[in-house]
Amino acid sequence: MTRFAKGRRVIVWEEPVFGPVEATPRLDSSICGESGVRVLTPVLPEGSAREDHEAMLRTLLDTVVASIQGDIIRWYYTPMMLPFSRHVDAACVVYDCMDELANFKFAPPELTLLERELMGDADVVFTGGYSLWEAKRDRHPNIHPFPSSVDRAHFAKARVLRGEPADQAALPWPRLGFYGVVDERMDLDLLAALADARPEWSIVILGPVVKIAPEALPKRPNLHYLGGKDYEELPRYLAGWDVALMPFAINESTRFISPTKTPEYLAGGRPVVSTPIVDVARHYGELEAVKIAATPEAFVEACDEALALSRLRGDWLKAVDTTLAALSWDETFGRMNLEIGRAAGARRKPATPGQIGAAALASSAVRPAGRKKPFDYLIVGAGFAGSVLAERLASQLGKRVMLVDRRPHVGGNAYDEKDAAGVLMHKYGPHLFHTNSEEVANYLSQFTRWRPYEHRVLACVRGGLHVPIPINRTTLNELYGLKLATDAEAEAFLKSRAEPVEKVRTSEDVVISAVGRELYETFFRGYTRKQWGMDPSELDKSVTARVPTRTSTDDRYFADKFQNMPADGYTRMFENMLDQPGITLELGVDFEEIRDEADFDRLIFTGPIDAYFDYRFGKLPYRSLEFRHEILDQEWFQPVGTVNYPDEAVPYTRISEYKHMTGQSCPKTTITYEFPRADGDPYYPVPRPENQALYKRYEALAMETRDVQFVGRLATYRYYNMDQVVGQALATFRRIAEREGRTLIAAQAAAQAVAAN
């Protein structure tokens, strides 16, 4: 509100309080800090009838409204304020929905009805988190999630502040603390269990006790209830805790909370232990600093771990700061302000009742007769993500789909074609199909026969020795002149070389902890530095973790149950998939060219997500490759499908020969060299924490972009294999089908209601 107060008059209207019986209704007024925000508290006579309150509040409000010149924005945190304010003429009505209030203890019965009215009245709705947005998004056409941000500088003071508040100073260490309203959302049994399990810990609870009797709070010698504190004081208390707590009960009233204190605690440099609140797990669950525990035993254990962490100012804190860097109230303010401006602009345009109805329906899948667009869906990108969705939507839901790709062919990066020598080759490097998912294999089997093929790769090391990669027993024997005969012997050998790594984080850690430095340098360091343009120590562990280490002599590159190549190639498989009534394919068309004029209801975008949003937050790094394809006048070039070249002095990473994969026989052969590049077509998302943090900002934007879905390797910035993209597309389709089912039912109900009237 402070930010909104710049250049505007902001008045906060509080819940009424009650004064003497004989008092006439009045408004108490105060100014909040330096913000200029005026807080008005209605004071009503004690004992006055509840049914008279509305009229009293309305009269008081009207005196305030009469003093205002210019446009008014009505901004509601609760629908309960609607009855005495709904008549006020406003340029924009905002519903800032912070919780599923109807699930709260003592929630008034009229709340649900009033919320329905407010949803109808509001020009724009904000929700205090994603779960809440997911629950309410079908209720309003202009609804946006705004999970809590954080005033980092304010709470970061907890990292440096010395000198404790008097009521906390004497408490023994270690200390675990919570601040916030103490109400029915707090898991009191959990608090008691925690205090009992670790009597030597001090558990500090700050905040007013609301809606529950103080006697209901568990009492223990190490449980300290210090009462409510000012926002200004919180960092000083936090500074005296080792670990911050979120001991919320998991029930209806906490299903949609998105606690602001999570980023605040983290900004204060404290590890957090929480019960499994959906939005906490969703936004922060991947951080080492945030432990989620569902049972009292697990919660105590998680507190032990968090305490251990709090003693080290290590990488966990860096990861916290990277995540928090993307959060700021200024950005929240900017985006809210923009939405309010847009909503007010839309309200100013006079609309006929017919138009209002149409606008409300524009976001639903079912249109009134006469407004049918030529396409239900525009899908951008004819790779796996786009083609699977086009096929499913057309064949299963009877949708009319326009599928476009800027390339002159289907298949995305999996595209293959016969070259001048008649060899079926992969234009964008070797694509080997492998999966453990029966669903994915069965789905694709409708469009292709398969040719059994298990990919094998050799690494060219030490100036010319060819040994199997992934490292297996044969690799070790050939490299070191050993005769390791069993898995156990190979395992013992690797163990003697492996270097323990306390916490495996990076792509270097993964390999060194499994096989030691020498094998790491022989097989991984150079290859990775070439492929990614950075050291493995700078890349997330997931990159090199793709390549296992084996103690057996299994020399297959993949271990999946299903390893086959499409018998007639990928392109033919895509053609079969897209040969459906309802699909219109336009190749050589860039989305940007048609963005403004294409006529469709919904969009599925499978290109780079940052490009879709015009690089609003900056470019997401994608790694590229240059392919050099060669036709050789010889039957074979190398003994296996791919040979890797980890040596940094060699400019390419690998050479692949397609005939091994396709089983073709032909007097000539075709090979492809891969030269990693920083610029060029985006092929690989680069798994690093800061890139993930940047992607999360785009993802947040994507989530609130109505009627657009982002699917695939580039659009969800995930280093996915083909089968994972197919799985993701099928899951997206299931969600669409479910939603369409719901919308259809809702539309029918609405139509029936109209007919009945």
Tokens standing for 255? 């299903």
Reduce the DSSP state of residue 571 to 3 states and report it: helix
Asked if 607 interacts with ligand FAD (CB under 6 A), we say yes
Contact indicator for 259, 191 with CB cutoff of 8 Å:
no
440 touches ligand FAD (CB under 6 A): no
The distance from CA 523 to its chain's CA centroid, rounded to whole angstroms, is: 34
Query: For residues 163 and 184, what is the distance between their CA atoms, to the nearest angstrom?
Result: 33
Residue 590 as a binder of ligand FAD (CB under 6 A): the answer is yes
Length of the chain measured in residues:
757
Smallest distance, Å, CB 543 to ligand UDP? Answer: 5
- Alpha-carbon distance 66 to 71, whole Å? 12
Partner in contact with 736, chosen from ligand UDP, ligand FAD, none, beta carbon below 5 to 8 Å by kind: none
DSSP character at residue 521: I
Smallest gap from residue 609 Cβ to ligand FAD (A): 10
243 forms beta bridges with 176
Closest contact distance (angstroms) between CB of 492 and ligand UDP is 24
Least Å from the CB of residue 137 to ligand FAD: 25
Q: How many residues bind ligand UDP (CB under 6 A)?
A: 13
Nearer Cβ to ligand FAD (306/385): 385
Q: Which residue in this structure is represented by tokens 């995540």?
A: 323
Which residue in the set 479, 547, 643, 729 belongs to the binding site for ligand UDP (CB under 6 A)?
A: 547
Distance of CA 386 to the CA centre of its chain: 20
**Is 265 in a helix, a strand, or coil?**
helix
Q: Residue 436: what residue type?
A: N
Closest by alpha carbon to 704, among 142, 253, 318, 152?
Answer: 142
* Nearest C-alpha neighbor of 193 from the set 307, 306, 297, 304: 297
Find, among 660, 679, 678, the residue nearest to 670 by Cα.
Answer: 660
SS3 letters for 406-457? CCCCCCHHHCEEECCCCCEEECCCCCCCEECCHHHHHHHHCCCCEEECCCEE
Separation of alpha carbons 484 and 13, rounded Å = 78
Residue closer to ligand FAD (CB basis): 245 or 625:
625
- State how far the Cα of 283 lies from the Cα of 325, in Å rounded to an integer: 13
**Which option in ligand UDP, ligand FAD, none does residue 523 bind, with CB closer than 5 to 8 A by kind?**
ligand UDP
To ligand UDP, the closest distance from the beta carbon of 625 in angstroms equals 9
Decide: is 428 part of the binding site for ligand UDP (CB under 6 A).
no
In the bound complex, what is the minimum distance in angstroms from residue 560's beta carbon to ligand UDP? 13
Buried b (16+ CB within 10 A) or exposed e, 411-427: bbbbbbeebeeebbbbb
Question: Which of ligand FAD, ligand UDP, none does residue 381 bind (CB under 5 to 8 Å by kind)?
Answer: ligand FAD
DSSP 8-state class, residue 540: B
**Contact between 517 and ligand FAD (CB under 6 A)?**
no
Give the span between the Cα atoms of 574 and 583, in whole angstroms.
Answer: 13
379 interacts with ligand FAD by CB under 6 A: no
**Measured between alpha carbons, how far is 189 from 632 in angstroms, rounded to an integer?**
74
From the list 36-44, 267-275, 419-427, 541-549, the region that binds ligand UDP by CB under 6 A is: 541-549
When the beta carbons of 616 and 677 are compared against ligand UDP, the nearer one is 677
Nearer to ligand FAD, 637 or 675 (CB): 675
Distance of closest approach, residue 539 Cβ to ligand FAD, in angstroms: 16
149: partner contacted, choices ligand UDP, ligand FAD, none (Cβ within 5-8 A by kind): none
404 is a contact residue toward ligand FAD (CB under 6 A) = yes
Q: How far is the CB of 561 from ligand FAD (least distance, A)?
A: 14
Give the orientation angle of helix 570-578 with respect to helix 384-397, to 10 degrees.
30
Interacting span for ligand UDP (CB under 6 A) from 260-268, 335-343, 352-360, 544-552: 544-552
The residues with which 467 forms a beta bridge, in sequence order, are: 459
Q: Which partner from the list ligand UDP, ligand FAD, none does 524 bind, CB cut-off 5 to 8 Å by kind?
A: ligand UDP
Q: Which listed range, 126-134, 402-410, 479-487, 575-583, lies at the site for ligand FAD (CB under 6 A)?
A: 402-410
Q: Which is nearer to ligand FAD, 129 or 429 (CB)?
A: 429
Please tell me whether residue 381 binds ligand FAD under the rule CB under 6 A. Answer: yes
Q: How far is the CB of 379 from ligand UDP (least distance, A)?
A: 25
Residue 433 found at the interface with ligand UDP (CB under 6 A): no
Residue 646 binds to ligand UDP (criterion: CB under 6 A): yes
Is 273 a residue that touches ligand FAD (CB under 6 A)?
A: no
Cβ at position 377, least distance to ligand FAD in Å:
14
Among positions 303, 394, 655, 714, the unique one binding ligand FAD when judged by CB under 6 A: 714
Report how far Cα 610 is from the mean position of its chain's Cα atoms: 15
User: Would you give the binding string for ligand FAD spanning residues 412-431, x where CB under 6 A is met?
Assistant: xxx-------------xxxx
Q: Which listed range, 167-175, 214-222, 384-392, 648-656, lies at the site for ligand FAD (CB under 6 A)? A: 384-392
405 binding ligand FAD? (CB under 6 A): yes
**Using the rule CB under 6 A, which residue among 435, 544, 564, 606 binds ligand UDP?**
544
By CB under 6 A, which span of 292-300, 309-317, 347-355, 542-550 interacts with ligand UDP? 542-550
**Closest distance of CB 469 from ligand UDP, Å:** 5
* Residue linked to tokens 């007919």: 755
Beta bridge partners of 540: 506
Q: Verify binding: residue 713, ligand FAD, rule CB under 6 A.
A: yes
Question: Which residue type, as a one-letter code, is found at position 626?
Answer: E
Is there binding between residue 621 and ligand FAD (CB under 6 A)?
no
Q: Residue 295, SS3?
A: coil
d(CA 96, CA 128): 7
Give the count of alpha carbons within 13 A of 92, CB side only. Answer: 19
In angstroms, give the least distance from the CB of 439 to ligand FAD: 15
412 binds, among ligand FAD, ligand UDP, none (CB under 5 to 8 A by kind): ligand FAD
Q: Nearest to residue 81, comparing CAs of 110, 103, 120, 48?
A: 110
Buried b (16+ CB within 10 A) or exposed e, 493-505: bbeebbeebeebb
**Should residue 683 be labelled a site residue for ligand FAD when binding is judged by CB under 6 A?**
yes
DSSP state of 599: -
Identity at 321, one-letter amino acid code: D
Please list the residues that pair with 676 across neighbouring strands: 625
Residue 695 interacting with ligand FAD (CB under 6 A): no
Is residue 469 close enough to count as binding ligand UDP by CB under 6 A?
yes
Tally DSSP H helices, then E strands, for the chain. 27, 31
Could you tell me if 668 and 421 are in contact, meaning their C-beta atoms sit under 8 angstroms apart? Answer: yes
Residue 644 makes contact with ligand UDP by CB under 6 A: yes
Report d(CA 22, CA 218) in Å as an integer. Answer: 41
Gap between the Cα atoms of 47 and 52, Å rounded: 11
**Which of the listed partners (ligand UDP, ligand FAD, none) does 414 bind, with a CB threshold of 5 to 8 Å by partner kind?**
ligand FAD
Burial environment of residue 67 by CB neighbours within 10 A (0 to 12, 13 to 18, 19 or more):
exposed
Residue in 720, 727, 732, 736 binding ligand FAD, rule: CB under 6 A: 720
Residue matched to tokens 């964008």 = 428
Write out the two tokens for 500.
Answer: 């323990």
> Does 733 sit near ligand FAD (CB under 6 A)?
no
Beta carbon nearer to ligand UDP, 137 or 623: 623
Of 18-26, 474-482, 489-497, 526-534, which part binds ligand UDP (CB under 6 A)?
Answer: 526-534
Residues that bind ligand UDP (CB under 6 A): 459, 469, 523-524, 527-528, 531, 543-544, 546-547, 644, 646
Residues that bind ligand FAD (CB under 6 A): 380-386, 404-407, 412-414, 428-432, 590-592, 606-607, 625, 683, 712-714, 720-723, 725
